[in-house]
Chain A
């Protein structure tokens, strides 16, 4: 069966520090991968998605970047965190095919102080 791992679960970082959140998927190949951010009361915002190794699409201009160094690994990064980067970050995957559902990780709660 397929599983998705996302870590860390919680993170407190000072303003200006770097960020690296990692997500890996097991039990499938060639998945589409996604990073979402959930800010309080604002729903889910798509940040990045990837349809293959090295292929990253950015949905909004951010202080963030994403990389996909391996087929089932998706990394969210920042060189210098801002206070506004605080939120709940969710990684997700889906099989190729428009009707396949997203499968989410348990999320990372990031607090920038």
Chain B
């Protein structure tokens, strides 16, 4: 079945550092890929998405490129802020339902 694997956390960074969260997937067909973010005590919010190979999703300084050859969708941000502290989930959509990774907790220190 479809599955998503993302790097385990927690990840702790200093403000203005570079952030990368790795995500790889296994799926049949041509899934759409998403990154969701969960701030403390809240539900998940869509951060960005890509619907086909080589698409780049971007939002709030975050970027991720849909790489079919490596089945990856790594999340990056060049300069993180304290407000980026959250749990990040990679997800794929290949049917009526989305499959999520386990989540990566990111803490940014001032």
Q: Which residues of A contact B (CB under 8 A)?
A: 6, 32, 34, 36, 41-44, 46, 49, 51, 57, 59, 90, 92, 98-99, 101-107
Q: A43-B89, A44-B89 given as contacts; is B42 within 8 A of A102 (CB)?
A: no
Segment of B15-23, B68-76, B77-85, B99-107 in the binding face: B99-107
Alpha-carbon separation in the docked complex, A51 to B95 (Å):
12
Q: Which residues of B contact A (CB under 8 A)?
A: 32, 34, 36, 42-46, 49, 51, 89, 91, 93-103
Alpha-carbon separation in the docked complex, A41 to B105 (Å):
9
Contacts of A90 in B (CB 8 A): 43-44
Task: Identify 8 new A-B residue pairs, CB closer than 8 A, beyond the known A44-B89, A90-B44, A99-B51.
Answer: A6-B43, A42-B102, A90-B43, A101-B46, A102-B91, A102-B98, A103-B46, A104-B44
Between A and B, 10 residue pairs with Cβ closer than 8 Å are A34-B98, A43-B100, A43-B101, A46-B97, A49-B97, A57-B96, A102-B36, A104-B45, A105-B43, A107-B43
Contacts of B101 in A (CB 8 A): 43
Contacts of A41 in B (CB 8 A): 102
By beta carbon, the residue of chain B nearest A59 is B97
By beta carbon, the residue of chain B nearest A105 is B43
Contacts of A106 in B (CB 8 A): 42-43
Contacts of A42 in B (CB 8 A): 102
